């Protein structure tokens, strides 16, 4: 993980004593050569399969190199195919076809009734297996289930390398995907609206959901939150040939200590649902000098716990959002309230410097501390505005909340629901924490003109370029090691609050 310095000055806010040269990013040889291979934009072509006609799920959200993945499929078609794509840059195509299975026997499987917890837990027989042999490199994958008519649906999974000591950890937020998944009629929110626009209905929402079910057709045709909220960063990261390893947040729960083998964690567009073990892994890593880049909002907001399901451990996810959780009488430390609420009383601001502000985060981004490392090379000045850059949920700095020392605000913007702040915290000797303050940072990174069909966002004029430069500045800084050593944050919140 050698760093080569260049002659570019990477300065903190004017008056700070610390300046650094901008280093070149660690390039991974295998990621570089992998993305020179022929891509295939056919992964997005064709009509989506009608609801219930073709859908599937896997026995695990991720598998390690050399392991075998079980895939479960229900379809009205007598036969179907499975095309397996590794997602990345691939010269603008976004994916490479790794494997293809044809003439698979199709059967319609039963949708279970919800139990008393609202859990819809499928127990379908295995339809086919995928062995992670040498052609399966670490990365994010989509299985494209395809009917003879060409109609298709996605099934996501991820391949890990638990021996990796790469610079960056790309973490897919599958707990949040599952929280919003309405397949079978219920999610942790409501019965039929994965985007959350239909109003909260506590009487019909589940308090426990299962990974043993497909993602709903309305949720990016089975790809869930990957394409809009995660893929644009993956596309950029593999275009840059970053030294990457890949995990899901379930892996953070199971083997979170491995995070300390790396320099930076990349938290993607909607990383909301955290077990105590997940949170502890992140905070311990920060203490050990690992940097954390949070490219979304509503980070570590809901507290969850896992239970075993038909496919093994950690397949059921519990979230009561109140002390009505039965475990409260037995072990209150596991009660699934919001992290900031009693009995937890542990807001994520205590290590990030920002908290969830609300759901209506639509607005334009206003740049602050333009001379700082974040905005270097963008050509932006203090007070510059990126029109329409903000949207969805948002975070802000709360002066009366539990916050770490030296919170630095690098963007301070008025949005429909209040104020959105970009915050940065880097205490001496510890990892730095960057929070974008908006749920649409990654969405606006998309600069993939060959993929502007279906669910892939297109470039945003006046927004995509500066946010991409700022993202690369984050990656450059966090690749160097503990940002508390290389670029301590400079407190400036009194200018705004």
Pairwise CA distance, residues 358 & 327, whole Å: 28
Residue 334 token pair: 């596991």
Write down the H helix ranges in 167-216.
174-180
Greatest CA span in the chain, whole angstroms?
A: 70
pLDDT of residue 399: 97
Nearest to 144 by CA among 9, 54, 30, 11: 54
pLDDT of residue 1: 38
pLDDT of residue 455: 74
| Spans of the chain below 70 pLDDT | 1-24, 190-203, 452-454
Tell me the domains of the chain and their CATH numbers: 5-36+162-495 (3.40.50.880)
β-strands 385-390, 363-366: how paired?
Answer: antiparallel
Instruction: State the average pLDDT for the chain.
Output: 91
* 55-97: pLDDT as tens digits: 999 999 999 999 999 999 999 999 999 999 999 999 999 999 9
pLDDT of residue 78: 97
Say if residue 358 is exposed, middle or buried (CB neighbours under 10 Å; 0-12, 13-18, 19+): middle
Residue 483 token pair: 């940002």
pLDDT of residue 311: 85
Beta strands in 298-345, from DSSP E residues, in sequence order: 302-303, 305-309, 312-318
Total-model pTM:
0.93
pLDDT of residue 7: 31
Q: What is residue 332's three-state secondary structure?
A: helix
Handedness of CA 219, 226, 281, 297 (dihedral sign): negative
Residue 296 token pair: 């979304």
Nearest to 88 by CA among 45, 134, 142, 135: 142
């Amino acid at each position: 993980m050698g760093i080569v310095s260049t002659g570019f000055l990477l300065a903190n806010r004017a008056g700070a004593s610390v300046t650094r040269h901008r280093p070149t990013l660690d390039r991974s040889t295998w990621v570089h050569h992998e993305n020179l291979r022929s891509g295939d934009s056919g992964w997005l072509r064709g009509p989506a399969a009608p609801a219930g006609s073709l859908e599937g799920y896997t026995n695990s959200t991720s598998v390690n190199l050399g392991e075998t993945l079980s895939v479960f499929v229900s379809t009205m078609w007598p036969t179907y195919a499975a095309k397996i794509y590794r997602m990345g840059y691939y010269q603008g195509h976004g994916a490479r076809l790794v494997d293809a299975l044809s003439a698979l026997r199709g059967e319609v499987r039963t949708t279970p009734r919800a139990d008393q917890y609202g859990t819809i837990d499928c127990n379908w027989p295995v339809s086919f297996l995928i062995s992670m042999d040498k052609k399966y490199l670490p990365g994010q994958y989509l299985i494209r289930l395809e009917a003879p008519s060409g109609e298709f649906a996605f099934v996501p999974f991820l391949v890990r390398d638990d021996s990796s000591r790469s610079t960056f950890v790309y973490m897919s937020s599958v707990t949040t995907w599952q929280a919003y998944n309405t397949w079978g009629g219920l999610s942790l929110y409501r019965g039929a609206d994965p985007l959350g626009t239909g109003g909260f209905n506590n009487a019909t929402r589940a308090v426990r959901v299962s990974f043993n079910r497909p993602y709903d057709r309305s949720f990016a045709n089975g790809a869930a939150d990957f394409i809009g909220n995660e893929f644009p960063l993956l596309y950029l990261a593999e275009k840059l040939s970053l030294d990457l390893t890949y995990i899901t947040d379930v892996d953070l729960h199971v083997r979170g200590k491995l995070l300390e083998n790396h320099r930076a964690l990349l938290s993607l567009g909607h990383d909301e649902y955290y077990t105590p073990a997940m949170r502890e892994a992140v905070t311990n890593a920060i203490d050990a000098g690992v940097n954390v880049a949070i490219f979304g909002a509503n980070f570590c907001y809901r507290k969850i716990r896992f239970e075993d399901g038909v496919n093994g451990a950690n397949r059921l996810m519990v979230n009561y959002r109140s002390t009505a959780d039965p475990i409260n009488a037995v072990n209150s430390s596991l009660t699934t309230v919001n992290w900031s609420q009693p009995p937890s009383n542990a807001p994520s601001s205590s290590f990030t410097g920002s908290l969830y502000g609300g759901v209506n985060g639509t607005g334009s981004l206003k740049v602050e501390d333009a001379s700082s490392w974040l905005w270097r090379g963008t050509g932006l000045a203090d007070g510059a505005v990126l029109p329409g850059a903000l949207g969805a949920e948002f975070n802000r700095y709360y002066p009366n909340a539990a916050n770490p020392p030296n919170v630095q605000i690098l963007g301070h913007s008025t949005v429909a629901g209040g104020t959105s702040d970009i915050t940065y915290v880097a205490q001496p000797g510890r990892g730095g924490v960057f929070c974008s303050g908006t749920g649409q940072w990654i969405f606006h990174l998309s600069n993939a003109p060959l993929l502007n069909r279906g669910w892939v966002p297109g470039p945003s004029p006046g927004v995509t370029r500066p946010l991409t430069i700022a993202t690369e500045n984050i990656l450059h800084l966090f690749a160097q090691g503990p940002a508390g050593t290389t670029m301590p944050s400079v407190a400036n919140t009194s200018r705004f609050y």
